[in-house]
Structure formats: C-alpha cells, structure tokens
Structure 1
C-alpha cells in the first residue's frame, strides 16, 4: 500500500545516499531509480567515494551526475567535507548546483543542515531527531522504522511518499560486450566457473583462508574447470595461500583482485554461482542475477534479494561472526539448493 503522494519535485533533483559501502549502494539502486522515474528526470546522486557509485552506476539512465560527499573516509585521511571547513565546502557545492529538491535516503542531520544552509527550497528525508529541523516536505517516517535494515527504511519511505516501486530488489545490468571482455581477461574456460568471494573489510564477516581453501578444493573436485577468487588487493596473501593449498590444481584458480568494479560485475554476472562473505561483491553477484550463497555467520541475513541463499550460524545468542559456519554446512546449502555441487 502506498501513502499519500507528496508534492511534485522541483528540478534539478538530487538524492543523497551517504552510506559508505558498495553493498549499501547496491541496496538503494531500486529506490534511486524509482525517485528518478517519479521526478520525470535523471537525478544527481550524492554519495561517498568509497561506495564507488561512479563505477557501479556508470551509464545508468536514472543518474545524471554523481557528486562526492567526502565524509568520514576512514583511515588517516580527513574527508574534504569533515569539520567546520568541510561543512562550508559542502554547503558551497550544493548551492552552486542549484538543486530544487533534495531527498536524503538516510537519517543524517548534518547533511540535512547543509541542504538547508545551501538554500535548497525542497528538502525531504526520513525526518528523525534533529534532521527534522532542516526538512520542509513530508512524509516523515515513524521512529520504529529506524530499527529496520537500510533497504527496508528506503522502501518504507518511498511507500509513504506515494512513489511507485515496482520491485525493491536491487538489479544491475551488464552488457554482453563487457561480460565477454571480462571473461577474456579471466581466461574463463567453456565449461564455466564458480566465483568465490574471499575478501572482507570486517573480521567478523571473514570466513577465513583455510576454510575458503577447503571450499575451493571441494568445488574443483566436483568437476568445475575453474574458480575466480574475488577480492581486493589486500587479499593477495589469502589468495596465494589458497592457490598453494590446491597443489597441481592451483592453476585452475584465477585471481580477480583489485579489478575495476565494472569488470568485477561482469565476471560475477557470468559465474555459475557465487560463494562468499557478506560484502559488496556478494551484493553485486546477487544483483546481476547470479545464484549467491552468502556467508552471514551471526550477522542478520538479507531478505531483499531473491538470488541470495543465506548460510548462517545457529543462533545461540553469541555474536561470534563466522566461527561456527563449517565447510560441510556451506556445501550442504549449495547441494540442497542446486541439487548438486558439480556442473550440470
């Protein structure tokens, strides 16, 4: 059920999605597209550089431009929009763009205040706490929605605003030429391949090199001609250890480490299936239509992507990450879903 339609947008329209992860951006793709459709024009997307929206959504007709919001980048670097001076720079950038409407798919009061200071006439968002001071167009979400997943929050907001969301499932499209180019670089064989996501930025979401090595061996033993090991450049040591553990079969495991995001998307879209940690790559694999066996451990599993098959640890009230997710459990999940591990 949809809510009462909110007033029309004023052009140009901006949408802020400031969560930092690639997966965070994937979750919000259907909502950003729905807002653009409702507005009748492509929108400017404001996002953190770490979300790689410029690569993830390159060429998307719903996106007219992408403006970086450089807040809390992590590590030792200070963001260009951090602190009082950074806030002023952000306000100046927003004012210079001349936005008529801005929609915050987040609860940040700092970003709402920047939009107000920039003189954007139509300011919309979730409206919790101090953010509400700086917004002037409803609807606003009830406080209990704040406990829900970020994807669900955005879905509830669009529903309340009367914005048609034909499907809340994130979907990413990869062109056939892009897929073929990535497969050539990978050296994919005719018999297909399985993608394994070995990377993770958080310790509690990391299944571990030893267990990934066991999974790689089991998949190759089942008859798959090749594996694609997906991660970042920081996963080089893990990849090396996995390949070494495979002995003479190590040449059948190909690294996809530190590739540009469009190439990673293309590889994942062509995989027979994907197994990996709860990361951006996992979200991308599912969004491209690839069956995805996601290792959640004791992290709450997602339910907004039909291609995700969650593999979680039994709930005993202990948040110990991946510690109790075993290799037999993962193989059993794949077997139960596909009917077999082997190609077919």
Structure 2
C-alpha cells in the first residue's frame, strides 16, 4: 500500500494583478506546492495575470481559479466576485474543493478571510503585518512589510515564504518556456538576423510609455548595425507596431518583425530566443529576465526593481523623456559586449 499523503490540500491567492507580479511569485508558489497535497496547489488569481498562459503547464500547478473582482475598465462590467455578495459567492464556489489551507500572498487579506470562512477553510496563512491580521489569520510566523525604496511585491513575497518555511533564502524569479510555443517562435523568427533584440512596446499605463519616436530610433539604430529587432506587444499594440515599422528605412525593414497576435506563452518563448529585451516596464521585460534573457527597462524616476540584478537592468533619469534612444543603445551594447 502506498503511503497516505498528509500534506494539506492548498489554495494560494495572489493579490497583485499584473503578469510581472505573477512572475515574481512563481518560484515561491512552487515552494508552497512542494509542501502541499500531491505536490500541487490551486492558484487563485485575477484574470489579468494570465496565469494559465504563464505557468499553466507547470507540473506543480493543479489548476488556476479566476478571482473576477476588478475587471479592466475597458470591459465595462461588474466583476462576478465584486462586492460582499460576490465574495460570498466565490466562497461558495470554492467550498466543494475542500481546501484545507489557504496561503495568502496579500497585504490586504480581509476579503480573502471572508471567502475562506464561507469555503470552510480554517488554516489561513498571511503576512500578519497588522494587529487585525494577526487576530483573524491562523497564528504563524509574521512579517513586517517592506517599506524601502524598491518595488515591494517581490520583497514581501520573499519575506513571507522564508518566514513560513516554504524556502530558506530568496529565490530569483524564473519561469519555463512552453515547448509548443518555443517551436512556433523558432519557426516564425528564423529569418531575422542575430543578435536579436525584442522591443517591449506595450505599457499598462500612459506614464510608463517611452513613446513611438524613441522605439523608431532605437530599432533603426540596431538594424543599421545588422541586428534583428522584434516589436513585441499585445493586440492593443498592433497599430503602434505597424507605425514604428513604417517609419524605419525601407531597406532595413526586413530585419524587423512584429509580434502582436501571439499568445502570452508565445511572447515568453520569443524573448527566450532574443539576446536582449528592451522596453517599457511591462510584463514582457519580466518574462525575459525570468527565462534568462537580459532585460533593459526604460523606467524613468520610479522605484527600482531589485529582484534579479543579473538580468534586469534599469535605465533611469529624472524624467522618462530624458532617456534617449542613443543612451539606451549604448547601455545595451556595452553590457552585451
């Protein structure tokens, strides 16, 4: 007879709702899974994290459960799990799954605690950063949230994972490439010159957008050197990618390709084939670093990223508009040799 698996059936909820946020947490989610029933977890996350595309193929992930609380404004709808009634409904949806433990990567666990009560989950692990959290959460090692100058998401996740014994030291974010996506991108990008540079032209917020003109100049400089360039974004960047391509000297356009019609898994595979990924502070540059590609983030005067000093290189100035294409090109070529 095989031994009974006494590890708890575990759900993990990720509060942050960006794709880069998910990348920062991926290795810690794996660590939680190693201490959970069947070596797997169920991940509760916002649809905007694109969790199925990014980590859905990982053997330690049982399933992704959408927490539909705050749809994008462009969707113009109320989330299925919005409001108190939505949270109560979500708890009822989780109840049949009979989770024994909820692990909360969240600094505002109040809503999740309500969901857990409705779902019958009695072990609820969280940061415990405030006296109220310590009153409502299961007693366990607490952390104090990071309040330094850098982006806090990875810092808090690291402290929490170590305090709970899921790992013993910080883990640099890493994700794996889906084999089917890699095969598609190898074929699609085969004719581009090497070295290949992916330009992450998308931006979730206007203040993160470096601008069309800068991407035109940077792409032109790189292809003039004989390098290949991939203009990378989502469907929302299709027009921008075509506008950038149209402004590049016609004789050099064959060294440039666009990828705005692929899946998120395709984007991850594409940046894994590039020598560098350069662009706005968006999911694509986080994908690149997490698969071992050098990522150059045009960040401007914003909190620095400190989760992967080897692969994430920040290009900062007093204002985003002060960062020139010439400066970016020089930084990239100097580091890549």
Q: TM-score, normalised by structure 1?
A: 0.88
CA distance in 2 between counterparts of 1:138 and 1:146 reads 22
Match of 1:301 among 301, 304, 314: 304
2:92 corresponds in structure 1 to: 92
Using a 3 Å threshold, how does the CA distance of structure 1 residues 205 and 51 change in structure 2: closer, same or farther?
A: same
Residue deviations 1:205-228 (CA, integer Å, cap 9, x gap): 11000000000000001111x311
Please say which of residues 277-286 and 68-77 is displaced more in the overlay.
Answer: 68-77
1:251 corresponds in structure 2 to: 254
Matched-pair contact (CA < 8 Å) for 1:195–1:271: yes
Using a 3 Å threshold, how does the CA distance of structure 1 residues 90 and 9 change in structure 2: closer, same or farther?
A: farther
- The Cα shift of 1:190 comes to 6.0
- The Cα shift of 1:326 comes to 1.6
- Matched ranges for 1:11-90 at <5 A: 11-39=8-36, 41-75=39-73, 76-90=76-90
2:317 corresponds in structure 1 to: 313
Matched-pair contact (CA < 8 Å) for 2:41–2:60: yes
Aligned length: 324
Q: RMSD of aligned C-alpha atoms?
A: 2.0
CA distance in 2 between counterparts of 1:117 and 1:128 reads 23
**Does the residue aligned with 2:35 lie in a helix, a strand or coil?**
helix
Runs (4 or more) in structure 1 with deviation over 6 Å come to: none
Unaligned runs of 5+ in 1: 1-7, 315-319, 340-344
2:215 corresponds in structure 1 to: 212
Please say which of residues 103-112 and 188-197 is displaced more in the overlay.
Answer: 188-197
- The Cα shift of 1:231 comes to 0.7
Q: TM-score, normalised by structure 2?
A: 0.90
1:229 corresponds in structure 2 to: 231
Residue deviations 1:29-80 (CA, integer Å, cap 9, x gap): 0110111123362111111111000110122022111111111122122111
1:327 corresponds in structure 2 to: 325
CA distance in 2 between counterparts of 1:96 and 1:177 reads 33
CA distance in 1 between counterparts of 2:242 and 2:289 reads 26
